[in-house]
């Protein structure tokens, strides 16, 4: 029995690390609400939102091109040599754009050089995560990806003892992510070997990157765009409250969504998926988790363990739970498409989603007067994406019961 549990622990060690990272960022988002002023919490929330966006499409789709086109034999990863300089340019470009947005548009009160380094490092942490992920080094890949989230949780403990140290929060984060990058690079050079090829044309890489970028940009807009729109449309206090509520009722789904996409894509590069069987398991688990999450947070709210009014926020909470379930199911379809879909199919999916979404946004925009109505619009966009990705996923799976 003991050997069984040890084996189970080893098998799902990457999930435990993901859970630790999720708990770190979750507890920090919640804990800082009671420590910081509305203005400081607003600055923190915006920076975290931008970092989350960079973790999705900071390489402008090149991470997905790498996963799609690279091959693995043992501990040797073969990929086109043109990906490296292109990834560097992409990381610099997105980091500079993030710097301009945070420093000159939002005007967060953090040193600009530190912001740029954090953004640039975040992109490369994501790239190193995908390299180790492709090599099936799942535990290491999750340690790399969740390192900064675990750091946030550690800093929260420190801030509870000395709130004044928040001034150095992002300075310390900057030093930490640099250390993570250096250690990751050393590990990759020791454990893996890389074979540079010239197997794809610049045009092919560009087209794959462009369409993966469009897909990632769209899903990043769905995941984080609501926060950016709330930030630009409503007050700092309303944005902080919205970020706080989303942390409780939407963020917990991200753990399961990430874990499904994390392993399924690698597996699907070598085998087909029984779609019906997997969907039933994922949907039933997601639905059960939704009821558990609502019950648990309602209980904590009732006995004043957390400062949250369930009754007043019930409409938005329901929409958050719907979006959470859609995102978990979508992560399965996204893995299928990332591993199997052709460039032509990705083009069709992107064009279909973008054109349909623009139509929905134009129709709904005039009716958006509250944050809840804005979130309802995003839930409709998520549903549209789920249907499109689900339809095309069926071409690369089988449906035996």
User: 63 in a domain, yes or no?
Assistant: no
Percent share of the chain, pLDDT over 70: 91
User: 232 in a domain, yes or no?
Assistant: no
Predicted local distance difference test score (pLDDT) of residue 11: 62
Long-range contacts for 173-176 (Cβ within 8 Å, ≥24 apart)?
173/118, 173/148, 174/114, 174/117, 174/118, 174/121, 176/147, 176/148, 176/151
- Distance CA(164)–CA(167), nearest Å, equals 6
The band of 386, judged by pLDDT with boundaries at 50, 70 and 90, is very high
Is 162 within 8 Å of 129 (Cβ atoms)?
no
Q: Strand pairing of 76-80 and 193-197?
A: parallel
- The length of the chain, given as a count of residues: 401
The terminus-to-terminus CA distance of the chain in angstroms comes to: 31
Q: How many domains does the chain have?
A: 1
User: 162 in a domain, yes or no?
Assistant: no
- Distance CA(48)–CA(246), nearest Å, equals 13
User: 352 in a domain, yes or no?
Assistant: yes
- Distance CA(338)–CA(261), nearest Å, equals 10
Residue whose tokens read 């369409």: 211
- Distance CA(80)–CA(93), nearest Å, equals 21
Task: Please determine, for residue 401, whether its predicted confidence score (pLDDT) is greater than 50.
Answer: no
Predicted local distance difference test score (pLDDT) of residue 250: 84
Predicted local distance difference test score (pLDDT) of residue 393: 82
Considering only residues 343 and 352, tell me which one the structure prediction assigns the higher pLDDT: 352
DSSP letter, residue 59: T
Residues 6+ apart with CB under 8 A from 291: none
Considering only residues 347 and 221, tell me which one the structure prediction assigns the higher pLDDT: 347
Task: Please determine, for residue 221, whether its predicted confidence score (pLDDT) is greater than 80.
Answer: no
User: 310 in a domain, yes or no?
Assistant: yes
C-alpha dihedral (98, 100, 105, 111), degrees to nearest 10: 90
Considering only residues 94 and 259, tell me which one the structure prediction assigns the higher pLDDT: 94
User: 43 in a domain, yes or no?
Assistant: no
Domain, as residue range, for 295? 250-401
- For the question of whether the overall pTM of this predicted structure is more than 0.75, the answer is no
Tokens representing 158 are: 């420190």
User: 236 in a domain, yes or no?
Assistant: no
User: 259 in a domain, yes or no?
Assistant: yes
The band of 222, judged by pLDDT with boundaries at 50, 70 and 90, is confident
The band of 6, judged by pLDDT with boundaries at 50, 70 and 90, is low
């Amino acid at each position: 029995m003991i050997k069984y549990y040890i084996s189970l622990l080893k098998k799902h060690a990457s999930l435990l690390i993901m859970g630790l990272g999720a708990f770190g960022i979750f507890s920090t988002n919640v804990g800082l609400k009671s420590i910081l002023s509305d203005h400081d919490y607003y600055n923190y929330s915006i920076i975290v939102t931008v970092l989350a966006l960079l973790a999705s499409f900071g390489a402008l789709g090149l991470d997905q091109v790498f996963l799609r086109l690279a091959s693995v034999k043992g501990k040797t990863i073969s990929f086109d040599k043109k990906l490296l300089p292109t990834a560097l340019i992409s990381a610099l470009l997105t980091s500079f754009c993030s710097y301009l947005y945070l420093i000159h548009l939002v005007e967060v009160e953090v040193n600009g050089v530190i912001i740029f380094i954090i953004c640039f490092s975040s992109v490369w942490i994501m790239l190193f995560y995908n390299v180790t992920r492709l090599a099936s080094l799942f535990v290491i890949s999750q340690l790399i990806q969740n390192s900064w989230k675990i750091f946030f949780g550690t800093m929260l403990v420190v801030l509870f003892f000395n709130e004044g140290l928040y001034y150095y929060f992002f300075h310390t984060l900057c030093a930490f992510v640099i250390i993570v990058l250096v250690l990751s690079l050393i590990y990759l050079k020791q454990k893996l070997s890389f074979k540079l090829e010239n197997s794809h044309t610049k045009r092919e890489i560009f087209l794959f990157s462009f369409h993966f970028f469009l897909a990632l940009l769209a899903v990043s807009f769905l995941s984080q765009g609501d926060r950016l729109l709330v930030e630009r449309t409503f007050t700092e206090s309303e944005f902080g409250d919205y970020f706080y509520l989303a942390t409780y009722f939407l963020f917990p789904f991200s753990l399961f969504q990430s874990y499904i996409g994390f392993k399924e894509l690698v597996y699907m590069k070598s085998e087909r998926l029984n779609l019906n069987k997997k969907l039933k398991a994922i949907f039933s688990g997601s639905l059960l988790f939704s009821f558990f999450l609502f019950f648990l947070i309602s209980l904590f709210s009732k006995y004043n363990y957390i400062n949250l009014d369930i009754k007043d926020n019930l409409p938005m909470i329901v929409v958050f739970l719907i979006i959470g379930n859609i995102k978990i199911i979508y992560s399965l379809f996204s893995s299928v498409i990332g591993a199997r879909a052709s460039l032509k199919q990705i083009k069709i999916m992107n064009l279909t989603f973008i054109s349909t979404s623009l139509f929905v946004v134009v129709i709904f925009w005039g009716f958006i007067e509250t944050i809840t109505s804005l979130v309802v619009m995003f839930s409709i966009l998520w549903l549209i994406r789920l249907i499109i990705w689900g339809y095309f996923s069926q071409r690369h799976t089988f449906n035996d019961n």
